[in-house]
Amino acid sequence: MQEPTILSPEQILLTTLVVKLAVTAALATMLVRFRTFRHILIFERRDWPDRLIFALSLGIPLTAGVVSRLLLHYDAADLTLEGPFLAGLVAGPYAGATVGMMVGLPPLANAEWGALPFAVGCGFAGGGLRELCPKEAIWHFSPFVFSSLLRRAWKMIRSLDVDWQVVLLLAPVALELLRQGVGSRWSQRLFHPDPPPGSFWMLLVVLLATVLAVATPIKIWNNARIEHRLQEQEKLLLAAKVEALANQINPHFLFNTLASISSLIRTQPDTARMLIAKLSGLLRRLMRSSDHFVTLREELESVDEYLDIEMVRFGPQLVVEKQISAATLDVIVPSMLLQPLVENSIKHGLSRKVGGGRIIIRTAFERGHTRIEVRDDGLGMTEEGLMRASRGGIGLSNVNERLRTIYGAHCSVTLTSVEGQGTLASVEIPDMTVPERVTA
């Protein structure tokens, strides 16, 4: 009969250390998924409530790990050294001491009198390092400093300049060596991972596991900080790009209107004055708000002011018809979306047409999208003319670029035209919840 295989003390210790690192990584990953905890990590200036939340968020599961060791003899979840040190390193000495007190109190029931002062001391050690070293050095901390430790130490001695990566590496190593020394002398008074006597390599493994248990959460949390920064940069880039494109549209419309006014000053001065007044009202509306997103209702009101100017130019020959679905009035759309479409209809479709012309503005809610159409019964355009209008014109090309920037490459203005019958410009805006308004 084959005897059951029993793990050696070295194998048991190695398994415990590996599971401890897995527990550390899992806890760090779970905590960073909570918005409040992530917010505390992102901003270095933390008030007392934030530090207390951080300490409790980390301290409660760490205390549960210590209790599991005491009750179930499951050593892998005990992070008495690493937890308080990490809390102090990230949130300051008092947060570290708070976590140290939480994890140090349960062992007192087992007569482990050294646990409480040691855990609190680890918290203060981490907090003291935080006060001394640059904050970014903490977030860049990596256990791979081991590979260049001698070179870094020699450079630090030679240049008399502190290498904080070396200091951050040596601090948990020193604390682990202290725990090993105290624990081996008074084994019942302080829990410690106990390498087999005389096994220098196993002691090195214990030291490496301690460093990794500190460095792994920092790496996970720093990735969350970097991701947040990238998202903020993308928001700022989007706002800047949208503003730049909008600023190209406004002068384009302004120059066209001023040219119309200039042509009327001598022949129809009263009409020119009226156009100037309406232009002033339109510009006042545009400059009054820095929002790049408006409701369709507001966009239609802005287009009405533009059409008032154009109808003064064209007189009764220009007829505007609206077929607006009430369900679309509160849909959020990019500002200055409709005006270039209407301007394109007038410029390419009606301005050269003999007799009257009609523009139909239609909106409808279809298949989860808001469809906006601007149709004219003008002269229409050839395929070559459509290409020039969509690519060469400042107004339409900018509208297309804004739509692609905001909604993705699939969203753009679609132009269809039949010579002698007119042109249709249409765009589909995805049905979205009201987006956060991006302001300049």
> Could you report the per-residue pLDDT of 97-122, keeping only the tens digit for each?
999 999 999 999 988 899 999 999 99
User: For 126-185, how does the pLDDT look when each residue is reduced to its tens digit (9 = 90+)?
Assistant: 999 998 888 888 888 877 777 777 777 777 777 777 778 888 888 999 999 999 888 888
Neighbours of 158 (CB within 10 A): 8
Average of per-residue pLDDT across 85-90: 92
Q: How high is the pLDDT of residue 422?
A: 85
Q: What percent of the chain is predicted at pLDDT more than 70?
A: 86
d(CA 168, CA 162): 11
Q: How high is the pLDDT of residue 433?
A: 43
Top-confidence range, 129-143, 203-217, 228-242: 203-217
| 352 CB-contact burial (10 Å; exposed 0-12 / middle 13-18 / buried 19+) | exposed
Average pLDDT, the chain: 81
Please report how the helices 115-132 and 164-185 are oriented relative to each other, as an axis angle in degrees rounded to 10.
170
Within 8 A by CB and 6+ apart from 272, the residues are 261, 264, 265
Asked if residue 274 has pLDDT above 90, the reply is no
pLDDT grade for 51, boundaries at 50, 70 and 90 = confident
Q: How high is the pLDDT of residue 390?
A: 63
Q: Which of 21-25, 282-286, 409-413 has the lowest mean pLDDT?
A: 282-286
d(CA 83, CA 121): 12
Residue reference for tokens 């020193």: 174
Average of per-residue pLDDT across 212-217: 91
Average of per-residue pLDDT across 72-90: 90
d(CA 164, CA 130): 11
Average of per-residue pLDDT across 371-383: 85
Asked if residue 316 has pLDDT above 80, the reply is no
Residues facing 415 on adjacent strands = 425
Q: How high is the pLDDT of residue 50?
A: 85
d(CA 104, CA 111): 11
Q: How high is the pLDDT of residue 286?
A: 62
Asked if residue 62 has pLDDT above 60, the reply is yes
| Structure token pair of residue 123 | 């918290």
Tell me which CATH code domain 265-430 carries.
3.30.565.10
Average of per-residue pLDDT across 197-218: 88
Neighbours of 2 (CB within 10 A): 4
CA distances from 191 to 95, 122, 180, 320, 331 (A): 22, 14, 9, 84, 63
For residue 403, the surrounding DSSP H or E stretch is helix 394-407
Which of residues 371 and 258 earns the better pLDDT score?
371
Q: What is the pTM of this model?
A: 0.59
pLDDT grade for 354, boundaries at 50, 70 and 90 = low
Average of per-residue pLDDT across 3-28: 83
Domain spans in the chain, listed from the N-terminal domain onward? 9-231, 265-430
Asked if residue 434 has pLDDT above 70, the reply is no
Contact yes or no for 79/65 (Cβ under 8 A): yes
Q: How high is the pLDDT of residue 116?
A: 92
Q: How high is the pLDDT of residue 249?
A: 54
Neighbours of 409 (CB within 10 A): 8
Which among 282, 287, 288 is positioned nearest to 309, based on CA atoms? 282
Sign of the C-alpha dihedral computed for residues 131, 132, 138 and 142 taken in this order: negative
| Structure token pair of residue 132 | 């001394």
CA distances from 411 to 407, 408, 429 (A): 6, 6, 8
- Sheet containing 414-418: order of strands: 318-324, 357-366, 369-376, 422-430, 414-418
Which among 175, 208, 212 is positioned nearest to 192, based on CA atoms? 175
Top-confidence range, 194-208, 213-227, 267-281: 213-227
Within 8 A by CB and 6+ apart from 136, the residues are none
d(CA 351, CA 353): 6
Number of H helices, E strands in the chain: 15, 7
Q: Max Cα separation, the chain? A: 116
Within 8 A by CB and 6+ apart from 314, the residues are 346, 350, 357
Average of per-residue pLDDT across 355-368: 84
Q: How high is the pLDDT of residue 393?
A: 58
Q: What percent of the chain is predicted at pLDDT more than 90?
A: 22
Q: How high is the pLDDT of residue 394?
A: 59
Write phi, then psi, for 417 (nearest 5 degrees). -150, 145
